[in-house]
Amino acid sequence: VLVLYTGGTIGMKSENGAYVPVANYLGDAIRHTKVLHDNQCLRSLMTEDDWEIATDTSLGAVDLPFALPTSVGNRTLLYVIYEYEPLLDSSDMTMDDHLRIAADIGLEYDFFDGFVILHGTDTMCYTASALSFLLENLGKPRWPRQLQRLLGALILAGFYCVPEVCVFFHNELLRGNRCTKISTNDFDAFASPNCNPLAKLGIDVHVYWHRVLGADHTRKFRVHDTLCNQ
């Protein structure tokens, strides 16, 4: 899974009584978080030569891979993080940023099984909605999503093929262009009034496959490169 870290509080660090985005802090934090990374598992699966290949992407060099301790069906999930420069406050996101994210997914589409975008919550729904139209004939899961939500997003993106742009929040997977932010204080901050959740994460993962849009594998994946601002 490729994780695109665009910004947001998930990678912020407390400095002088305020939280600020710090370059390369997120990867260091995850590497010391056992629920998100198992170094022994990584070393058993990959040699240092493999690491060199895995950290060379079309977007540029990325940090060493991470191995998720959680497995499904004896499958282990490996993921890498590409950090944007500069890190963006989601309230500053523009259509150019939406186009950049879509283009980056297009560049790496053939090399990863799923994509997770780490994104601030203020405009997450706008980005998810834009990407749902920019990424045509999507055949792989991709969604914007703090550390516990990252775990759930990785599990869903890596082990369950929901070929849609979605928002994962408060253990629910919502269709990206059918959700809205309803609270800045509650854990249940996002809702999808006219479309029930596509999946819920609890002790077990429940994917409501009858609600999921099926991928059309007869049509080629396409990334659109323009948006209308009218």
- What is the rounded distance in angstroms from the CA atom of residue 128 to the CA atom of residue 145? 10
pLDDT per position as a tens digit, 59-104: 876 778 999 998 887 889 999 999 999 998 888 999 999 999 999 9
Whether the Cβ atoms of residue 165 and residue 143 lie closer than 8 Å to each other: yes
For position 51, what pLDDT does the model report? Answer: 66
* Sequence-ordered list of residues with C-beta below 8 angstroms from that of 60, at least 6 positions apart, any chain: 82
Q: Over 90: is that where the pLDDT of 58 sits?
A: no
Domain CATH for 152? 3.40.50.1170
Distance of CA 202 to the CA centre of its chain: 19
Mean pLDDT, range 196-224, rounded to an integer? 93
Residues involved in catalysis: 121
Q: Which structural domain range is residue 193 located in? A: 2-223
Number of structural domains found in the chain:
1
pLDDT per position as a tens digit, 175-188: 999 999 999 888 88
- Structural domain contains residue 228: no
Q: Over 90: is that where the pLDDT of 195 sits?
A: yes
Asked whether the whole model's pTM tops 0.75, one would answer: yes
- Structural domain contains residue 230: no
